[in-house]
Structure 1
Amino acid sequence: MEHIALYRAWRPQSFQDMVGQQHIIQTLQNAIREERISHAYLFSGPRGTGKTSAAKIFAKAINCEHGPAIEPCNECETCKRITSGNIMDVLEIDAASNRGVEEIRDLREKVKYAPTEVRRKVYIIDEVHMLTTEAFNALLKTLEEPPAHVVFILATTEPHRLPATIISRCQRFDFRRVSLIEQTDRLALIAGEEQIEADRDALEYIARLSDGGMRDAVSILDQVSAFTDGKVTYTQVLQMTGGIASEQFAELASALLHGDIAKVLQMVESFMQEGKSAEKCMENLLYYFRDVLMIKMIPQAGDLTERMLDPEIFRETASAFTKEQLFAMIDTLNHYQTEMKYAAQPQMLFEVALLKLGSIPTSGANGSSTADVASSSSSHAPTDASEIRQLKQQLAQLEQKLDKALKSGIAASGEASDRNQTGSSGRRTPTARVSSAAKIPSQIQSYVSNRNHSDFTKVSGSWGKILQRVKEEKVTIHAWFVNCEPVSIHEDAVLVAFKHDMHRETIEKSVNKQIVESVLEEVLGSSHRLVTMMQKDWLEAIEGAHEDPVEALELEHEGENAGEPLVDEAIQLFGESLVVVKE
């Protein structure tokens, strides 16, 4: 038989072929048996767990020539054509490449017509979370009043990105990760049928690498079997996947425990010479210490370890470390793994991380206090959250000092400034607030009139999601951006008001502003510009909405009588901010 990819050959063709989703299969089969088929289903869960396969099997079951039946026969012409994707009434759509409103409108037009070849039209929309906001709105109309002959099956790995209005109109099924035992048994079955000689520990390691995704597990087995010419061993799987044996990490942990830095660096160099990447080494080492922690804290942790096939061997290693040391090591590795994503020299960061691990006190197992180890953990492995809190405290202190300095500077230079700005005619020159006015958008009147517009209501309602996406893109930008609030919208521009000028100037930097605008486009569904101003200027603009706010700010305290003695005395008595001069 001509060799084809194992996953294509072993992709589930009936419900009984599905692995690890019995609760979902039983529910769908009961619905078919009792003829209570819904008009829309939502299949959500991790990648490679059978969402799209289940959708196609369901389409075959309800349209089988010998059915509807709880299992498709896979022998009739209809089942064969649905399997090969050659039937017009069962359509699989990739929402990642067909995410626009026009594609969904075209779908809505075709939905109206009755099926020509089968009982029911079935639309399988994969990665449905990639649809735009407008496309979701168009799809919602069809889901609200669907024709009786149509079934929608939406599949996604990120259900939280779907609007609640879409989710509420679907029957939701959450696919779970396939368990280690179920994956290993299925891999053993596939290997036997394909005449691949595979060791049990090799199949277990492949199952652990796949992170609960059956598709990934079968793909790795196919790759390794092709490389090894039909004989799959644990060592060969490690070589093919770039993994490192737990025994080697145990040796590395022993060197760290005894402070043998030379051996640690020598082992790192040997890893690199073997073609291992620093990122993969960091990931595997993080898994290793996580497993050691599980063995340390839970006596029977065999099923909880991620990459250790025989946890009993490493109990001695676990007993050599305290829980606090292991927590500190995991924190340190996690910190440097995050930094490594943006590093030009990842190997150097990996070496630095190991040196940090070696600097964590190792005498805890022989009597050092928990407080000492915890202190070491916090000093050597600061988390992102603690760094952000510290930065915010420092910023708050700087802003307070800056406010005091500005106030004292204005008070001290107020009279001199008044004298310098008064001409021979006794009038003040219009420079008192030019800097503030320069920070105000040119179309401020339009923004003021649009502050209650329906488009702005949409922006303000999505603001929490926008802040979350900015935080996911770059947490430092979020720390500055969280201190502003949206106040209005005009055409394609979103106006936000800042309490502190320092925050506003930081966001106005082109790199930061570009990230925020890309998030606005993603969340709002269309391109938007970011326009900024100060909150106090916005409040003044609202209060003076009947006149030009920019002109009001520039010409405040100016006029024909600005230099008269009564005006000057009033300013001295009540303060410049409380005096308004009118004709």
Structure 2
Amino acid sequence: MSYQALYRAWRPQKFDDLVGQELVTKTLKNALMTKQTSHAYLFTGPRGTGKTSAAKIFSKAINCHFQKDGEPCNECDTCTSITAGRQNDVIEIDAASNNGVEEIRDIRDKVKYAPTECDYKIYIIDEVHMLSTGAFNALLKTLEEPPENVVFILATTEPHKIPATIISRTQRFDFRRIQPDTILQRMQYIVSQKQLKCEPAALKLIAKAAEGGMRDALSILDQVISFGNDEVTLDNALMVTGSVQNDELLQYLEQVTQKDTAKALEILHQILNDGKDAARFIEDLISFCRDLLLYQQMPEKVENDELNVVNDDFRNFSQKIKPEEIYQMIDLLNEQQENMRFTSHASIYLEVLTVKLATRQTTISPKTPQAAGEKLDPKDTIKVENLTRQVKQLQQQVEQLLQNQSNGQSVTATNSSRPKTTSYNKTQVRKTTAPAKVDLQQVYGVLSDATRTSLNELREIWDDLLNMLTVAQRAVMHVSSPVAASPDGVIVTFQFDFLCQRAQTDQPLKDTLENGLDRLIGHVPRLIFMPQEQWPQIRQEYLNGQKAQKHLTAGEDGQRTEQETPGDPKQPAPKDPVVDTALKLFGNEVVDIKND
């Protein structure tokens, strides 16, 4: 059999093997033991924390007939087939490459069929946040009421990208970053099982470099084993991870705090020449500064932390440096780390960072005169009084300005010594606000197929649709109402222009409205937002355009464009296209037909 990566060979096969997620595993095991499993689960959390592994373990446990205390037996045909990935009733889907509507519709069509071998059919959708809006809409109804023998397990690293309508239909479990000491214990167990030579300091370094991901830790360990010919040493771990030893970090910070720029640059160049990663160097510096701060406040915690080596040099340096200096260095490190994200010349940024750290000015927290027992200088007292007087004058001007605005009057300067203020009123403010943009082509497309039936259908469910929104979304839509609708589109007007603009640019609001419309009326019409004050003019321009087009067509065909003089009262009056359009839009119960 070919070699398997460590994170695959040592993938957890039962809940007890899933380290660092005790809250999740205990809840799932209790649900399995009491037969209180849900129809849909959502597993969220950083990469490499066990989301997909937990989904596969749950798939085995819920279908295993020899389950004990919520754990699968891993010996029956069902468990072995799921572990090997050949069980047809456990379907794993990668939403990153299958994110369209057609793929979800295929699931919706097949979910009605009973499982072939297992008791439950399990759908594991990984990276579910990559699904499109249409795919989420297609999944909604099935996810809410699937057949009794179907369970959905959704996994994602970015839950904020999933619609709230999906999250509300699932039981959510948040997988946390795994603590370094937990990762260390797991790696020690694996190394002992493989009977490898290992230095404890190397495993500690790998556990810190993994940043809470067990899969990342095992991948790094795999690289170190390959690099060192089945030997795990500290030097090999430093080489693979690009990390810097604490002694080198300490020497660098000592030269920086002593303002010795040349020596600090020399140490930096030596670190880079050894092949250390620039981004990892800044990460290690931030972590080292953090350890210094913690050691100054809680030395016992850092001393007892087995992932850190506190020696005499570290203790002496922590007594020399002040917390304010550490704060400054962390700020500069964070700033330069952000700048290095999009550059290919990281060494230049590190050199600039070194100069900044060595030439920075240490800030001293100011003391108030009262705390220091000092008295204000007479000149300073005069300055304070002048500033206080100016602030009072500015407050009076602001109050007068607001009062004049409410009365519609212009503001004029009352004193030549005061700064001049520009006069304006409510009309001017309204004119400076940019009007909401309206796509007339889309509006005319809806009006050409608009019917009274479609409008009445929307008006009946409009209040229910608004109740499905969040509080913030309802605040935007509470002054809106549908005024025209066709099977494919709806025109919604707003009483205030700024709320209309807000709705036009709020994509999550549109997505929620479309999801609600799909549930309430069974289809998703196109939403067109416009200010209420523009609607009568646009509607009249459309009707006039329809009438002009009718007259132009009649003239081209050689027919009479004038109206016939009224003759026999029994003879029906000729049909007017404008009247027909109005009847189609608004119905005949409120329309009076008047001849010109």
Instruction: Output the TM-score relative to the length of structure 2.
Output: 0.64
Q: What is the rounded CA distance, in whole Å, between the counterparts of 1:269 and 1:464 in structure 2?
A: 54
- Cα pair 2:46 2:213 within 8 Å, conserved: yes
RMSD of the TM alignment (CA)? 5.0
Contact 2:220/2:240 (<8 A) preserved: no
Q: What residue ranges of structure 2 are gaps of 5+ in the alignment?
A: 368-411, 413-420, 425-431, 448-454, 474-479, 516-527, 542-596
Query: Within 2, Cα distance between the matches of 1:67 and 1:189?
Result: 26
Q: Within 5 Å, give how 1:149-188 maps onto structure 2.
A: 149-188=149-188
Question: How far apart, CA to CA, are the structure 2 residues paired with 1:199 and 1:463?
Answer: 57
CA distance in 2 between counterparts of 1:271 and 1:215 reads 28
In the alignment, is residue 28 of structure 1 matched against residue 25 of structure 2?
no
- Retained in 1: the 8 A contact 2:303–2:310? no
Partner of 2:118 in structure 1?
118
Determine if contact 1:294/1:304 at 8 Å carries over to the other structure. Answer: no
2:443 is equivalent to residue 443 of structure 1: no
Describe the shift of the 1:127–1:463 C-alpha distance in structure 2 as closer, same or farther (beyond 3 A). farther
3-state SS of 1:173 partner: strand
Question: Who is 1:127 aligned against?
Answer: 127
What CA distance in whole angstroms lies between the structure 2 residues aligned with 1:44 and 1:438? 42
Q: How does 1:82-481 map to 2 (within 5 A)?
A: 82-302=82-302, 308-310=308-310, 313-361=313-361, 369-371=364-366, 443=440, 446=443
> In structure 1, what residue type is equivalent to 2:440?
Q
What is the distance in 2 between the residues matched to 1:493 and 1:304?
66
Give the CA deviation at 1:155. 1.5
SS in 1 for 2:356: helix
2:366 alignment partner, SS class: helix
Residue 300 of structure 2 aligns to a residue in which SS? coil
Q: Please say if residues 129 and 161 of structure 2, whose CA atoms lie closer than 8 Å, have aligned partners that are also in contact.
A: yes
Give me the whole-angstrom Cα distance separating, in 2, the residues matched to 1:312 and 1:11.
Answer: 41
Any conservation in 1 of the 2:126–2:156 contact (CA below 8 Å)? yes
How far 1:224 sits from its partner (Å)? 0.4
Q: Report the alpha carbon displacement of residue 309 of structure 1 after superposing the two structures with TM.
A: 3.6
Q: How many Å separate the matches in 2 of 1:44 and 1:442?
A: 40
The answer to whether the 8 Å contact 1:278/1:346 transfers is yes
Paired residue for 1:535?
Answer: none
Call closer, same or farther: CA 1:100–1:520 in 2, change over 3 Å.
farther
Equivalent runs, 1:526-545 vs 2, <5 Å: 543=533, 545=535
**Offset of 1:167 from its aligned partner?**
2.2
State the shift of 1:438 in Å: 12
Q: Which moved more, 1:233-242 or 1:59-68?
A: 59-68
Q: CA deviation at 1:548?
A: 6.3
Residue 388 of structure 2 corresponds to none
1:5-20 equivalence runs, <5 A: 5-20=5-20
Contact 1:48 1:214 in 2 (8 A): yes
Whichever residue aligns with residue 168 of structure 1, its letter is: S
Structure 1 residue 331: Cα displacement: 0.8
| CA–CA distance in structure 1, aligned partners of residues 58 and 261 of structure 2 | 58
1:513-566: CA deviation from partner (whole Å, max 9, x where unpaired)? xxx99999999999xxxx99xxxxx9xx854544469x9xxxxxxxxxxxxxxx
* Contact map agreement 2:99 2:130 (CA 8 A) in 1: yes
Moved segments of 4+, more than 4 Å: 303-307, 407-410, 435-442, 447-450, 461-465, 487-499, 516-526
Residues 15 and 54 in structure 1, CA contact (< 8 A), matched pair in contact too:
yes
Letter matched to residue 230 of structure 2: G
C-alpha contact 2:119 2:149 (8 A) present in aligned 1: yes
Give the letter aligned to residue 273 of structure 2: Q
Deviations 1:191-215, CA, capped at 9 Å, x for gaps? 1111221111111111111112111
Matched residues in 2 for 1:177 and 1:438: separation? 48
Question: Which whole-Å deviations, capped at 9, do the CAs of 1:122-160 have from their partners, x for residues lacking one?
Answer: 111112222222222222211221211111111222223
TM-superposed deviation, 1:307:
7.2
1:569 corresponds to: none
CA contact 1:100–1:132 (8 Å) conserved in 2: yes
Give the unaligned 5+ runs of structure 1: 373-403, 411-434, 466-486, 505-515, 533-537, 552-583
- Would the alpha carbon gap of residues 525 and 25 (structure 1) be closer, same or farther in structure 2, given more than 3 Å must change? same
**Residue type of the alignment partner of 1:101:** V
Larger-gyration structure (1/2): 2
How many residue pairs were aligned? 459
Structure 2 CA distance, aligned partners of 1:488 and 1:339?
48
1:285 to partner: Cα distance: 1.8
TM-fit CA distance, 1:442: 6.9
Counterpart residue identity of residue 226, structure 1: S
Q: Deviations over 1:350-376 (max 9, x none)?
A: 2112211112235x8xxxx3339xxxx
| Mapped contact 2:291–2:302 kept (Cα < 8 A) | no
8 Å contact from structure 1 (residues 292, 318) kept in 2: yes
Which position in structure 1 is the counterpart of 2:450?
A: none
Secondary structure of residue in 2 paired with 1:300 = helix
Quick check: 2:204–2:307 contact (8 Å CA) kept in 1?
no
Q: Does 2:77 match 1:59?
A: no
SS in 1 for 2:299: coil
Whether the 8 Å contact between 1:204 and 1:309 is mirrored in structure 2 is no
Indicate the larger mover: 279-288 or 295-304. 295-304
Distance in structure 2 (CA, Å) of the matches to 1:371 and 1:248: 34
TM-score after normalising by structure 1: 0.66
Shift in Å at residue 59 of structure 1?
A: 0.9
Report if aligned partners of 1:61, 1:70 keep a CA contact under 8 Å in 2.
yes
Structure 1 SS opposite 2:92: strand
Partners of 2:357 and 2:492 in 1: CA distance: 47
- Cα distance between partner residues in 2 of 1:234 and 1:353: 28
Q: What's the CA shift for 1:437? A: 11
Distance 1:89 1:318, change over 3 A: same
The amino acid across from 1:88 in the alignment is N
Share of identical aligned residues, percent?
Answer: 44
- For the 8 Å contact 1:32–1:70, the answer to whether it is kept is yes
Q: What code does the residue aligned with 1:295 have?
A: Y
Closer, same or farther: CA 102–544 of 1 in aligned 2, 3 Å: closer
